[in-house]
Every structure is written in structure tokens, then in C-alpha cells.
Amino acid sequence: MQVAEWSENMEKYDLSSEYSIRKADPEEWGVYCSVYYNMRFVGFFREERFNANRNNAYWIYQGESKIGGVRMAPNNIYHLFFIPPFNQSLEVLKLLKKILVSWSDRTQAIKAFEILPDQVHLFAKAGFWPVEFRCRWMQRPTERFDVTWDDDLIIKSPQIIEDETGTKRFTNENEIAHCDFASFVGGFEALRRNQSSLEQFIPDEDPALTNETLTEASTLVYDKNTGQLVANCRLCLQDTEAAVYSIGVIPSHRGRGIATYMLQRALTILKGKYPILRLYVMEGNDAESVYYNLGFIPGVQEVQQMIIPAESNYNERSGEDDPT
């Protein structure tokens, strides 16, 4: 069967003579996803997480019967669910994989995101390989704290400027890059994000993911004696909720409670503006204890990604000519 190329405007794709996917209205699709996706995961995020106005939500049909849903586009797939009593999930995922491979840039890996415990074996059987980082979201209500900083520290919020092209940047992005590099390089978090050089830590994307309130609640911590930026906590918008984009303290200033103070400052400023604050943490990260001690509750552990490797990598590691 000829597989149609991906297009933002295509309303229907045939997966086989029996199955197809059809473009979905995001709001209705989100309601179904909030019911039929992993309920522990859904309960953590609440329904609005799945109602985002994106153009990659599809219904899965068997003939004229709706049997599930998925979000997918070239090189990525996520939020796959099936509607009981349908139980041929592996057959359908293999068909989804086939069309996804045809859509994708095969010099790059195809990524499946947020693979929850009850789906790991399903994706593995369909030929996706796990990336061995297990992560979870954590969250807690915003609350006012009386934060007392050490006298040798200077506390500021970052500033964002916008140039004539509309590009937003932190005014001190190089300082932030050096702080993040010193905080993370060689550690699990840098490995997860594939960051190893100073240039890769330049925060050139996250200014577009925040807003005035979240920027105010973000924190830059300077050593008063040296003028060095020694810690920072930057917030972003995760769908409709406030989230920690990055938090780090350079090694020489750890053990002073700075990470806790930065989070308490964020929770205080956000109180009355956002009901909760979320963060994403990798299993084994030392910061987990900080978050637990501040009252953050964990969600479902997930394999952060499973992938179909890029063609050259796949062939080298598997000895196969066809990744499908």
C-alpha cells in the first residue's frame, strides 16, 4: 500500500485496509485522552494538559469505529491510547511506526516521549529502543514563605530583551551559560540533555517559553564578594502551569540551602497567580531530596524517551538494513 507523505493539512491517512488515522479536534481528543491514557499520569496533570491546540492529534479508526488516539508528526509520537475493548494495540503500533518512518527524516532518531510503565513493553515489541533515563514530574501548591538569604548573596530576577526581529534573549545569557555549565557539566542532567560544551548551555530558547510573572519568580543568585553568578532558577510555562525550566548551583556554593531558597522564592511570588509549581527530575538526581523536603509530590515514573535510531546508527547496532 502506498503511504501518504505527512502534511499539516492532511485529514486522513490509511494505515492498512483495516486501520486509518484521522485528524482530531484537540478539545474533544483531549477529553478522550484524559480518560483512556494512564490514569495515574492523567490525574497528576489534570485534563487541560491534553487539550492543547496542536495540529498533530489523530483518532485511530478500525473501519468506521474509533478505537484510540495518538499525537504524532515526523520524528515523534506520544500520548498513544486505546479505547476498550480494543486489544490489538501491538498490531496498530506497528502500523503507526511504519507510517512514522515514512514521514520522518531518517538521519535523525524517531522519538517516542513519555513512555509510561504500562507501555514500555508495547513500544519495545514494536521496535523502539529505550533511552535509559527514567524521570518523573513533581509538583506542589504555591505558598508564601519567609525567605532569609545570606548577607553575602545578591538576589535578582533575570531580565529579557527583544530585538527588532522579535527574538527574546536574557540580558546576561553568557553569565547564565557559565553558571549552568559549572552546575551541570558531566552530571546526569547534562547527559540527559546531551550538553557537554559551554555553547550548548547558552539559554537562547527558554526566554520564549516564559512570561513576565514567571520571569519575576525566576532567581539569579550572585556572590556579593566576587560578583559571580553562583546559582539560578528559571521558570517556564508548561501548558497552563508554572514549571521549573532549570535550577542549578555551582559546586563551591552547594550545601547552603540556595536551591531551597530559590524554589521558596518562586512559590511565594507565584502564590495567587499560579496554583501549583511543577518540575521534572531524573531518577537518581541528588536534588530529589530537596524537592521532597519542600513538599513536592512525585508523579508516575516514565522512560523519558524510546527511539527508533537514525538509519546509520540503527544499522551499525542491529546489523539490519530496514529499521521497520
Q: What b/e readout covers 299-318, taking b as 16+ CB neighbours within 10 angstroms?
A: bbebbbbbbbbbbeebeeee
List residues bridging with 282 in a β-sheet: 135
Say what the pLDDT of residue 320 is.
46
**Model pTM?**
0.78
Q: Please give the biggest Cα pair distance in the chain.
A: 71
Taking only the tens of pLDDT, the chain with its 324 residues reads 667 788 888 999 999 999 999 999 998 998 999 899 988 888 888 655 676 667 799 999 999 999 999 999 999 999 999 999 999 999 999 999 999 999 999 999 999 988 988 999 999 999 999 887 888 999 999 999 999 999 999 999 999 999 888 899 999 999 999 999 999 987 767 766 778 889 999 998 889 899 999 999 999 999 999 999 999 999 999 888 999 999 999 999 999 999 999 999 999 999 999 999 999 998 777 788 899 999 999 999 888 889 999 986 545 444 444 444
Say what the pLDDT of residue 317 is.
47
Euclidean distance between CA atoms 281 and 283, whole angstroms: 7
CB-CB contact of 44 with 38 (8 Å): no
